[in-house]
Amino acid sequence: MKRRTFVGAAASLPAVSILSGTARAQSKEIRMIESGGASGESIQKGYIDPLFQKTGIKVVRESPSSLGKLRALVESGQTSTTLFELGSGIVLQAKKLGLIEKMDWAAINPAPMFPEAKNEYGFGYSYFSTIMAWRKGAKEPQNFTEFFDSKAFPGKRCLPDFPHYCLPFALQAAGVPIDKLFPLDVDLAFKKLNEVKKDVAVWWKAGAQPPQLMKDNEVQYSICWSGRVVGDPAFGLSFAGGKADLSFIAVVKGSKPEDKAAANKLFYEMSLPENQAKAAEVISYTGPSPELDALLPKDKLWQFPTSKQNKAVQYFENAEWWAENGEAVNKKWEAFKLSL
Protein backbone atom coordinates (compact mmCIF):
# COMPACT_ATOMS: atom_id res chain seq x y z
CA MET A 1 0.00 0.00 0.00
CA LYS A 2 2.77 2.37 0.97
CA ARG A 3 4.75 1.62 -2.12
CA ARG A 4 1.77 2.21 -4.35
CA THR A 5 1.11 5.64 -2.89
CA PHE A 6 4.74 6.45 -3.30
CA VAL A 7 4.78 5.39 -6.94
CA GLY A 8 1.56 7.25 -7.53
CA ALA A 9 3.01 10.35 -5.98
CA ALA A 10 6.16 10.02 -8.03
CA ALA A 11 4.14 9.68 -11.21
CA SER A 12 2.19 12.80 -10.41
CA LEU A 13 5.38 14.75 -9.93
CA PRO A 14 7.31 14.17 -13.17
CA ALA A 15 10.08 16.59 -12.38
CA VAL A 16 10.88 14.94 -9.08
CA SER A 17 10.76 11.50 -10.54
CA ILE A 18 13.12 12.33 -13.37
CA LEU A 19 15.53 13.81 -10.91
CA SER A 20 15.35 10.88 -8.56
CA GLY A 21 15.61 8.49 -11.56
CA THR A 22 19.02 9.87 -12.45
CA ALA A 23 20.20 10.19 -8.91
CA ARG A 24 19.02 6.78 -7.70
CA ALA A 25 21.29 3.73 -7.87
CA GLN A 26 20.58 1.63 -10.94
CA SER A 27 21.08 -2.13 -11.29
CA LYS A 28 23.64 -3.43 -13.76
CA GLU A 29 21.66 -6.58 -14.44
CA ILE A 30 17.93 -7.35 -14.40
CA ARG A 31 15.90 -10.38 -15.40
CA MET A 32 12.99 -10.65 -17.79
CA ILE A 33 10.58 -13.50 -18.43
CA GLU A 34 9.23 -13.45 -21.98
CA SER A 35 7.39 -15.85 -24.25
CA GLY A 36 10.48 -17.24 -25.95
CA GLY A 37 11.19 -18.26 -29.52
CA ALA A 38 11.67 -15.71 -32.29
CA SER A 39 9.91 -12.94 -30.37
CA GLY A 40 12.46 -13.33 -27.58
CA GLU A 41 15.24 -13.07 -30.16
CA SER A 42 13.67 -9.89 -31.49
CA ILE A 43 13.69 -8.36 -27.99
CA GLN A 44 17.36 -9.28 -27.68
CA LYS A 45 18.41 -7.83 -31.00
CA GLY A 46 16.07 -4.85 -31.07
CA TYR A 47 16.26 -3.58 -27.50
CA ILE A 48 18.54 -5.47 -25.11
CA ASP A 49 21.68 -5.28 -27.24
CA PRO A 50 21.36 -1.50 -27.89
CA LEU A 51 20.67 -0.92 -24.17
CA PHE A 52 23.85 -2.78 -23.23
CA GLN A 53 25.93 -0.85 -25.75
CA LYS A 54 24.66 2.48 -24.45
CA THR A 55 24.49 1.89 -20.69
CA GLY A 56 26.17 -1.43 -19.87
CA ILE A 57 22.94 -2.71 -18.31
CA LYS A 58 22.44 -6.43 -18.89
CA VAL A 59 19.01 -8.00 -19.31
CA VAL A 60 18.82 -11.75 -18.83
CA ARG A 61 15.94 -13.47 -20.61
CA GLU A 62 13.98 -16.51 -19.50
CA SER A 63 10.91 -18.16 -20.99
CA PRO A 64 8.10 -19.03 -21.22
CA SER A 65 5.83 -16.53 -19.52
CA SER A 66 2.45 -17.44 -18.14
CA LEU A 67 0.15 -15.69 -15.74
CA GLY A 68 0.48 -18.66 -13.39
CA LYS A 69 4.23 -18.17 -13.26
CA LEU A 70 3.81 -14.48 -12.53
CA ARG A 71 1.38 -15.24 -9.73
CA ALA A 72 3.81 -17.77 -8.25
CA LEU A 73 6.64 -15.23 -8.46
CA VAL A 74 4.72 -12.51 -6.64
CA GLU A 75 3.13 -14.77 -4.04
CA SER A 76 6.51 -16.26 -3.14
CA GLY A 77 7.75 -12.70 -2.51
CA GLN A 78 10.77 -12.91 -4.78
CA THR A 79 12.26 -9.80 -6.36
CA SER A 80 14.79 -11.27 -8.77
CA THR A 81 12.64 -10.90 -11.90
CA THR A 82 11.67 -7.38 -12.86
CA LEU A 83 10.04 -7.64 -16.28
CA PHE A 84 7.30 -9.97 -17.47
CA GLU A 85 5.67 -10.38 -20.89
CA LEU A 86 1.87 -10.56 -20.88
CA GLY A 87 -0.92 -10.65 -23.46
CA SER A 88 -3.29 -7.68 -23.64
CA GLY A 89 -6.08 -9.45 -21.75
CA ILE A 90 -3.65 -10.81 -19.21
CA VAL A 91 -2.43 -7.31 -18.30
CA LEU A 92 -5.92 -6.52 -16.98
CA GLN A 93 -6.13 -9.78 -15.04
CA ALA A 94 -2.66 -9.28 -13.59
CA LYS A 95 -3.62 -5.76 -12.59
CA LYS A 96 -6.79 -7.07 -10.89
CA LEU A 97 -4.76 -9.66 -9.01
CA GLY A 98 -2.20 -7.03 -7.98
CA LEU A 99 0.68 -8.79 -9.69
CA ILE A 100 2.19 -5.85 -11.63
CA GLU A 101 3.34 -2.32 -10.88
CA LYS A 102 2.03 0.88 -12.40
CA MET A 103 4.24 2.15 -15.20
CA ASP A 104 6.30 5.26 -14.49
CA TRP A 105 5.83 6.85 -17.92
CA ALA A 106 7.37 10.14 -16.78
CA ALA A 107 10.57 8.37 -15.80
CA ILE A 108 10.63 6.42 -19.07
CA ASN A 109 10.05 9.55 -21.14
CA PRO A 110 9.41 7.50 -24.31
CA ALA A 111 9.53 8.53 -27.96
CA PRO A 112 6.02 8.95 -29.49
CA MET A 113 3.85 5.79 -29.23
CA PHE A 114 0.38 4.63 -30.32
CA PRO A 115 -1.90 5.42 -27.36
CA GLU A 116 -3.13 1.83 -26.78
CA ALA A 117 0.52 0.74 -26.31
CA LYS A 118 1.12 3.30 -23.58
CA ASN A 119 -0.90 1.42 -20.97
CA GLU A 120 -1.07 2.43 -17.33
CA TYR A 121 0.27 -1.01 -16.39
CA GLY A 122 2.37 -2.14 -19.33
CA PHE A 123 4.45 -1.26 -22.35
CA GLY A 124 2.78 -2.50 -25.54
CA TYR A 125 5.89 -3.49 -27.43
CA SER A 126 4.78 -5.81 -30.21
CA TYR A 127 1.74 -5.90 -32.48
CA PHE A 128 0.87 -9.35 -33.76
CA SER A 129 -2.00 -10.65 -35.82
CA THR A 130 -4.00 -13.82 -35.75
CA ILE A 131 -5.08 -14.54 -39.28
CA MET A 132 -6.31 -17.17 -41.69
CA ALA A 133 -3.76 -19.12 -43.69
CA TRP A 134 -3.84 -22.11 -46.00
CA ARG A 135 -1.62 -24.63 -47.65
CA LYS A 136 -0.58 -23.42 -51.14
CA GLY A 137 -2.84 -25.07 -53.67
CA ALA A 138 -5.96 -25.00 -51.51
CA LYS A 139 -8.85 -22.85 -52.70
CA GLU A 140 -8.33 -19.34 -51.29
CA PRO A 141 -11.05 -17.92 -48.98
CA GLN A 142 -11.68 -14.16 -48.93
CA ASN A 143 -13.26 -13.90 -45.49
CA PHE A 144 -14.18 -16.01 -42.48
CA THR A 145 -17.58 -16.98 -43.86
CA GLU A 146 -15.74 -18.66 -46.70
CA PHE A 147 -12.99 -19.94 -44.41
CA PHE A 148 -15.52 -21.94 -42.39
CA ASP A 149 -17.49 -23.12 -45.46
CA SER A 150 -16.11 -26.63 -45.89
CA LYS A 151 -18.44 -27.44 -48.79
CA ALA A 152 -17.06 -24.72 -51.02
CA PHE A 153 -13.59 -24.87 -49.48
CA PRO A 154 -12.97 -28.54 -48.74
CA GLY A 155 -10.20 -29.53 -46.34
CA LYS A 156 -9.41 -29.99 -42.67
CA ARG A 157 -9.10 -26.97 -40.36
CA CYS A 158 -6.73 -26.22 -37.52
CA LEU A 159 -8.03 -23.72 -34.96
CA PRO A 160 -6.58 -22.29 -31.73
CA ASP A 161 -7.60 -24.09 -28.57
CA PHE A 162 -8.41 -20.74 -26.96
CA PRO A 163 -11.92 -19.26 -26.85
CA HIS A 164 -10.76 -15.66 -27.13
CA TYR A 165 -9.41 -16.46 -30.59
CA CYS A 166 -12.12 -18.73 -31.91
CA LEU A 167 -15.28 -16.96 -30.80
CA PRO A 168 -14.83 -13.66 -32.74
CA PHE A 169 -13.90 -15.56 -35.92
CA ALA A 170 -16.94 -17.80 -35.57
CA LEU A 171 -19.11 -14.69 -35.20
CA GLN A 172 -17.66 -13.28 -38.43
CA ALA A 173 -18.55 -16.56 -40.11
CA ALA A 174 -22.11 -16.07 -38.78
CA GLY A 175 -22.19 -12.68 -40.48
CA VAL A 176 -21.25 -10.24 -37.70
CA PRO A 177 -19.10 -7.37 -39.12
CA ILE A 178 -15.76 -6.72 -37.42
CA ASP A 179 -16.77 -3.41 -35.88
CA LYS A 180 -19.81 -5.04 -34.16
CA LEU A 181 -18.05 -8.07 -32.65
CA PHE A 182 -17.98 -6.80 -29.04
CA PRO A 183 -19.77 -7.44 -26.79
CA LEU A 184 -19.51 -11.00 -28.12
CA ASP A 185 -22.68 -12.98 -28.77
CA VAL A 186 -21.27 -16.08 -27.05
CA ASP A 187 -24.22 -18.34 -27.80
CA LEU A 188 -24.22 -17.51 -31.50
CA ALA A 189 -20.46 -18.10 -31.63
CA PHE A 190 -20.76 -21.55 -30.07
CA LYS A 191 -23.68 -22.37 -32.36
CA LYS A 192 -21.45 -21.62 -35.36
CA LEU A 193 -18.54 -23.57 -33.84
CA ASN A 194 -20.82 -26.58 -33.35
CA GLU A 195 -21.64 -26.46 -37.04
CA VAL A 196 -18.01 -26.44 -38.15
CA LYS A 197 -16.36 -28.58 -35.46
CA LYS A 198 -16.49 -31.74 -37.58
CA ASP A 199 -14.06 -30.13 -40.03
CA VAL A 200 -11.55 -29.20 -37.35
CA ALA A 201 -8.84 -31.85 -37.15
CA VAL A 202 -6.66 -30.14 -34.57
CA TRP A 203 -7.19 -27.48 -31.93
CA TRP A 204 -3.74 -26.03 -31.38
CA LYS A 205 -2.07 -24.93 -28.16
CA ALA A 206 1.39 -24.10 -29.48
CA GLY A 207 1.93 -21.55 -32.26
CA ALA A 208 4.32 -23.88 -34.08
CA GLN A 209 1.60 -26.48 -34.66
CA PRO A 210 -0.51 -24.95 -37.48
CA PRO A 211 2.33 -24.28 -40.00
CA GLN A 212 3.75 -27.77 -39.40
CA LEU A 213 0.34 -29.43 -39.76
CA MET A 214 -0.25 -27.58 -43.03
CA LYS A 215 3.19 -28.59 -44.31
CA ASP A 216 2.47 -32.24 -43.40
CA ASN A 217 -0.89 -31.94 -45.20
CA GLU A 218 -2.67 -32.97 -42.01
CA VAL A 219 -4.79 -29.84 -42.36
CA GLN A 220 -5.32 -27.44 -45.26
CA TYR A 221 -6.64 -24.33 -43.45
CA SER A 222 -5.49 -22.73 -40.20
CA ILE A 223 -6.11 -19.77 -37.99
CA CYS A 224 -2.65 -18.89 -36.77
CA TRP A 225 -0.23 -16.16 -35.78
CA SER A 226 0.91 -14.08 -38.76
CA GLY A 227 4.59 -14.24 -37.80
CA ARG A 228 4.52 -18.03 -38.19
CA VAL A 229 3.39 -18.04 -41.82
CA VAL A 230 4.28 -14.79 -43.61
CA GLY A 231 7.16 -15.06 -46.05
CA ASP A 232 6.91 -18.83 -46.30
CA PRO A 233 6.07 -19.78 -49.93
CA ALA A 234 4.33 -22.95 -48.70
CA PHE A 235 1.40 -20.91 -47.40
CA GLY A 236 -1.20 -18.47 -48.57
CA LEU A 237 -2.70 -16.01 -46.08
CA SER A 238 -5.03 -13.09 -45.63
CA PHE A 239 -5.28 -10.43 -42.92
CA ALA A 240 -8.97 -9.96 -43.70
CA GLY A 241 -11.02 -10.23 -40.50
CA GLY A 242 -7.88 -11.01 -38.53
CA LYS A 243 -7.31 -10.11 -34.93
CA ALA A 244 -4.71 -7.43 -34.15
CA ASP A 245 -3.36 -7.72 -30.67
CA LEU A 246 -0.58 -6.25 -28.63
CA SER A 247 1.95 -7.95 -26.38
CA PHE A 248 2.94 -6.07 -23.27
CA ILE A 249 5.91 -6.04 -20.97
CA ALA A 250 5.05 -5.16 -17.39
CA VAL A 251 6.95 -4.61 -14.15
CA VAL A 252 6.59 -7.35 -11.56
CA LYS A 253 4.96 -6.23 -8.30
CA GLY A 254 7.46 -5.61 -5.52
CA SER A 255 10.47 -5.08 -7.76
CA LYS A 256 13.39 -3.16 -6.20
CA PRO A 257 13.62 0.56 -7.13
CA GLU A 258 17.09 0.17 -8.66
CA ASP A 259 15.81 -2.68 -10.87
CA LYS A 260 12.85 -0.55 -11.92
CA ALA A 261 15.18 2.27 -12.84
CA ALA A 262 17.14 -0.10 -15.10
CA ALA A 263 13.87 -1.43 -16.57
CA ASN A 264 12.80 2.10 -17.45
CA LYS A 265 15.97 2.48 -19.49
CA LEU A 266 14.99 -0.62 -21.47
CA PHE A 267 11.45 0.72 -21.98
CA TYR A 268 12.96 3.89 -23.43
CA GLU A 269 14.99 1.82 -25.94
CA MET A 270 11.82 -0.05 -26.82
CA SER A 271 10.07 3.17 -27.77
CA LEU A 272 12.68 4.13 -30.42
CA PRO A 273 11.54 3.39 -34.01
CA GLU A 274 15.07 2.50 -35.20
CA ASN A 275 15.24 -0.24 -32.54
CA GLN A 276 11.77 -1.47 -33.49
CA ALA A 277 12.91 -1.79 -37.09
CA LYS A 278 15.80 -4.00 -35.91
CA ALA A 279 13.35 -6.17 -33.99
CA ALA A 280 11.13 -6.46 -37.08
CA GLU A 281 14.05 -8.00 -38.96
CA VAL A 282 13.87 -10.96 -36.61
CA ILE A 283 10.10 -11.44 -36.57
CA SER A 284 7.40 -9.84 -38.68
CA TYR A 285 5.70 -8.21 -35.68
CA THR A 286 5.88 -4.47 -35.22
CA GLY A 287 6.61 -2.02 -32.42
CA PRO A 288 4.35 0.86 -31.26
CA SER A 289 6.04 3.83 -32.95
CA PRO A 290 3.84 5.72 -35.46
CA GLU A 291 7.04 6.52 -37.37
CA LEU A 292 8.01 2.87 -37.83
CA ASP A 293 6.42 2.27 -41.26
CA ALA A 294 8.92 4.62 -42.89
CA LEU A 295 11.84 2.57 -41.57
CA LEU A 296 10.50 -0.82 -42.77
CA PRO A 297 11.35 -2.30 -46.18
CA LYS A 298 8.62 -1.26 -48.63
CA ASP A 299 8.28 -4.67 -50.27
CA LYS A 300 7.55 -6.31 -46.92
CA LEU A 301 4.97 -3.88 -45.56
CA TRP A 302 2.14 -6.28 -46.42
CA GLN A 303 3.55 -8.77 -43.90
CA PHE A 304 3.25 -6.51 -40.87
CA PRO A 305 0.21 -6.38 -38.59
CA THR A 306 0.22 -2.59 -38.29
CA SER A 307 0.91 -1.56 -41.85
CA LYS A 308 -1.95 0.62 -43.10
CA GLN A 309 -3.41 -1.89 -45.58
CA ASN A 310 -3.56 -4.59 -42.88
CA LYS A 311 -4.63 -2.55 -39.85
CA ALA A 312 -7.78 -1.43 -41.66
CA VAL A 313 -9.20 -4.93 -42.27
CA GLN A 314 -8.57 -6.32 -38.77
CA TYR A 315 -10.39 -5.91 -35.49
CA PHE A 316 -8.59 -5.05 -32.29
CA GLU A 317 -8.67 -7.30 -29.24
CA ASN A 318 -11.08 -6.07 -26.55
CA ALA A 319 -9.15 -6.96 -23.40
CA GLU A 320 -11.73 -5.35 -21.07
CA TRP A 321 -14.53 -7.57 -22.31
CA TRP A 322 -12.42 -10.69 -21.80
CA ALA A 323 -11.34 -9.62 -18.33
CA GLU A 324 -15.04 -9.42 -17.43
CA ASN A 325 -16.26 -12.57 -19.15
CA GLY A 326 -13.21 -14.78 -19.60
CA GLU A 327 -13.88 -17.26 -16.83
CA ALA A 328 -17.52 -17.87 -17.71
CA VAL A 329 -16.67 -18.30 -21.39
CA ASN A 330 -13.89 -20.71 -20.47
CA LYS A 331 -16.34 -23.04 -18.73
CA LYS A 332 -18.50 -23.05 -21.84
CA TRP A 333 -15.37 -23.68 -23.89
CA GLU A 334 -14.48 -26.77 -21.84
CA ALA A 335 -18.05 -28.01 -22.24
CA PHE A 336 -17.82 -27.43 -25.99
CA LYS A 337 -14.52 -29.32 -26.13
CA LEU A 338 -16.16 -32.27 -24.36
CA SER A 339 -18.75 -32.41 -27.13
CA LEU A 340 -16.12 -32.90 -29.85
- Residue 182 phi/psi, 5-degree rounding, is -100, 140
Q: Is 120 an interacting residue with respect to other proteins (CB under 8 A)?
A: no
Query: Of 264-283, which residues contact other proteins (CB under 8 A)?
Result: none
Q: Cβ atoms within 10 A of the Cβ of 259, count?
A: 21
The sign one gets for the Cα dihedral 184, 323, 61, 209 is negative
Q: Is 55 an interacting residue with respect to other proteins (CB under 8 A)?
A: no
Residue from the set 204, 221, 248, 267 that interacts with other proteins by CB under 8 A: 204
Q: Which residues, including other chains, have CB under 8 Å from residue 262's CB and lie 6 or more apart?
A: 26, 27, 28, 29, 30, 57, 82
Angle at 220 between CA 313 and CA 152, to 5 degrees: 75
Min dist CB 197 to other proteins, Å, is 9
- Residue 32 phi/psi, 5-degree rounding, is -135, 140
Query: What's the first-to-final CA gap in the chain, in angstroms?
Result: 47
Min dist CB 88 to other proteins, Å, is 14
Identify the CA nearest to 114 among candidates 293, 313, 290: 290
Q: Is 326 an interacting residue with respect to other proteins (CB under 8 A)?
A: yes
Query: Of 21-50, which residues contact other proteins (CB under 8 A)?
Result: none
Q: Is 334 an interacting residue with respect to other proteins (CB under 8 A)?
A: yes
Q: Is 320 an interacting residue with respect to other proteins (CB under 8 A)?
A: no
Residue from the set 2, 56, 68, 115 that interacts with other proteins by CB under 8 A: 68
Half-sphere exposure of residue 204: CA atoms within 13 angstroms, side-chain side: 22
Q: Is 340 an interacting residue with respect to other proteins (CB under 8 A)?
A: yes
- Cβ distance to other proteins smaller for residue 9 or 72: 72
Query: Of 85-114, which residues contact other proteins (CB under 8 A)?
Result: 93
Q: Is 216 an interacting residue with respect to other proteins (CB under 8 A)?
A: yes
Q: Which one of the spans 64-72, 233-241, 269-277, 294-302 is the region binding other proteins (CB under 8 A)?
A: 64-72
Number of residues that bind other proteins (CB under 8 A): 25
Q: Is 324 an interacting residue with respect to other proteins (CB under 8 A)?
A: no
The sign one gets for the Cα dihedral 215, 219, 225, 231 is positive
Binding footprint of other proteins on the chain (CB under 8 A)? 66-69, 71, 93, 161, 200-205, 216-218, 326-327, 330-331, 334-335, 337-338, 340
